[in-house]
Amino acid sequence: MRRVQADAVLNRPLALSDARAAVLQHMLRTAGVTALFDDDGDFWSGAPLWNEGGIAVIGIGGMLIAGKLGWGYPYVTGYGDIAERLEEALNDQSVQAIVLYIDSPGGMVSGLFDVADRIYQARSIKPIVAILADEAYSAAYALASSAQTITVPRTGGTGSIGVLMLHTDISRMLDEAGINVTVFRYGEHKAEMLEVEPLTDGAKTRTQEVIDRLGEMFIQLVARNRNLDPQKIRDMKAETFLGEDGVKLGLADAVMSPDAALLDLQANLN
């Protein structure tokens, strides 16, 4: 059984919707830190790639994770798998246009901006559109914004343009269990995010500075991709927006069902 370990999301910057972050927190409380996902269910190998009459459709679903997973869709998708499928579609002479078919609450920041930049660059080679099956929040929205156009279902969502980090402090639980952990360090700031001891004020400040820098990188990326004023995006305060509301704010271009969006693209190509 393959597992995505909890350390893939703890103490790491995440571009994830608030709702999914709350789910992760609950899973950690109830299941501990053994795993967040397993692969007992049916799934595709990596990010799937379909060819629909000259249109390459790249599936992007579930939690977005750094690297190449080679498994897990639609529950987990690796940025490396997305990048690989993108290059395949770009190099396929039979492909006239590329669709990012997205239904994801977001995921890890690590690896995100590189893939988003590649999508943005690639849209000068072939038309690239993002068709939301339902939601594209946070990291998933960063990918969607890199396409030339975005369609969202009327009950789907966009936004959550922000960054967060989760840290678990189990020091009090260890104290109550009579367990004392001694940490030896070379370097004052070495391993200052350990869960076995409370965070220092300095660690909190330094971590927030990193989150702020990554958040601003996210703002600038979306501003470039969607030709929006960065301050307008900051003023959204990482809020999520339903269907038409996202279109009004410039986060998407049209409210359409996935099927209608694909038919519209096919008609434009023909």
- Structural domain spans, the chain: 3-166+201-259
* Topology of the domain covering 3-166+201-259: 2-enoyl-CoA Hydratase; Chain A, domain 1 (3.90.226)
Give 183's contacts (C-beta < 8 A, 6+ positions apart).
191, 194, 196, 197
Summarize pLDDT for 156-188 with one digit per residue, the tens.
999 999 999 888 889 999 999 999 999 898 998
Quick count: other Cβ atoms within 10 Å of Cβ 248? 10
| Residue 52 DSSP SS3 | strand
Summarize pLDDT for 5-48 with one digit per residue, the tens.
445 555 567 766 665 555 555 444 444 443 444 444 444 455 56
pTM: 0.84
**Among 168, 169, 162, which residue's Cα sits nearest to residue 211?**
162
Q: Is 138 a catalytic residue?
A: yes
Residue type, 165: M
Which candidate in 17, 104, 110, 138 is catalytic?
138
Nearest-angstrom CA–CA distance, 238 and 235: 8
248 token code pair: 């009004």
